[in-house]
Amino acid sequence: MRHSMGFGTIAVVAGLGGLLFGYDTGVISGALLYIRDSFRLTGAMQGVVVAVTLAGAAVGAALAGPLADGLGRRTILLFTGLVFVGGAAVCALAWTLDVLIFGRMVVGLAIGIASMLTPLYLAEISPPEQRGAVVTINQLFITIGAFLSYVLDYAMTFLAHGPGAGSGIVWRAMLGLAAVPGAMLLVGMMLLPESPRWLLSCGRSDQAYIAMRWLRAGAAPTDEFEVLRRDISESKKNRAPFSRVFARNVRRPMIIGIGLAIFQQITGINTVIYFAPTIFKDSGIASSAGAILVTAGIGLINVILTIVAMRLLDHVGRRVLLLAGLAGMFVSLLVLSACFGIGLHGNGGHEVALLIVVSIAAYVSFFAIGLGPVFWLLIAEIFPLAIRGRGMSIATVTNWAFNMLVSLTFLDLLSSVGQSTTFLFYAALTALAGLFTWYLVPETKGRSLEEIEMEMDGRVGQLRVEGTELLNLERDLDT
């Protein structure tokens, strides 16, 4: 048996998929400025360069679930690392626009697979008491990847004026550097084991025990393994084809997963990820470099608050952080709407511009402790094992589809109704997300995936009723 890494190292290696996710979705905002010049792109074609990656991500997320259920989580993550490297290389070497679009689609395919499969793998290898923090490593790496892309974009605003910039070296470097963490993911996953839960679901109990022992730093996890084997054996009796995702007992997790996937996007977060420099220039920041620098600062805040969320998820709980984060997002969007409504002209223009920057920073902060990490964690927890890969795939495809919808409509929405009404609309959708969470989303802190599955299909409530009836019967007999 191979020598075990520390569990933190295991989680970091697996979380590299999130780093690539964040970097490749964030870097395009700066790279597009130079791609546009290299290929003399119209506004519509710039939209295609952005949207094709999101379309590829939706396809990747759709394929990830069935592939992960059939071939294993580790195998598909290895494949994802390889696709990232290949896609980044194609983008960096693209000699025509068609080749660049193809490369961005390949990268999108890998992003979609990683966005669904990384939290699933992390959830399945984690002890229940550490699962919140470990799965949130994925979200942390997404924010780090986006922050690195903003920093690189800012640095390139100066390098772009140097020798060779006109040859396209700037955007090629931006897109090509994604190959480095892609190669790290590929090599790192070669050292990690397959998910013990997936191995047990395939009847490979000896390999599953070896994998779990390796994950637990060489200890003998006999009790944990026996509980896991019993629960999975029971779950396998109910295994069904894809139509199982429409079964009555899966309805609640499916509604929660799809609902949170939609709300994470339609509350407006990717208007900041993709268009923050545009928003800041509208607020009065004159130069592109200054707007990108402020965006990088917002990205750093996102990283820091995600680290805070990692510390809180397994102590405060998922539901509490989700509700608190949505409340903060709602207030921040109201303030942002009011600022744009007041306007940036007159004596108070500079103060209003500063308040806009602060409001966006607050909005991102509340997203980073709530809807950002909690969505990815919950969809890795709430689906039954028999359809977990497919359920997460459906939720992730929905997330990417609405990501693309928001990205395509944001600038048109700004031009048609104005900034104030646009952000007021996002505030209303955030309030709706809060109501959805209050009435439907459960607390999963500190519970095994099997216990969560029992609650979702109603078995926990049934056992409690039966236990109460048995206790009453015993009391009647005693009297």
At 122, which amino acid appears? L
What percent of the chain is modeled with pLDDT above 70? 82
**Cβ-based burial of 283 (10 A; exposed 0-12, middle 13-18, buried ≥19):** buried
pLDDT at position 424 is 93
CB 88 within 8 A of CB 213: no
Q: pTM for the complete prediction?
A: 0.73
pLDDT at position 284 is 64
Rg (CA), the chain: 23
Q: If you average pLDDT over each of 2-11, 22-31, 309-318, 383-392, which comes out highest?
A: 309-318
User: How many residues would you count in the chain?
Assistant: 479
CB 391 within 8 A of CB 383: yes
Comparing C-alpha atoms, which of 256, 374, 379 is closest to residue 317? Answer: 374
Average pLDDT over residues 105-133: 83
Assign a CATH topology to domain 7-205+212-218+229-237+249-447: Growth Hormone; Chain: A; (1.20.1250)
Q: What angle do CA 214, 232, 397 make, to 5 degrees?
A: 90
Q: What angle do CA 428, 430, 431 make, to 5 degrees?
A: 65
At 151, which amino acid appears? V
User: What is the DSSP track for 354-418?
Assistant: HHHHHHHHHHHHHHHHTHHHHHHHHHHHSS-GGGHHHHHHHHHHHHHHHHHHHHHHHHHHHHHH-
Scan for tokens 């977990």, then name that residue.
388
Comparing C-alpha atoms, which of 202, 234, 259 is closest to residue 74? Answer: 202
Confidence label for 167 from pLDDT (cuts 50, 70 and 90): very low
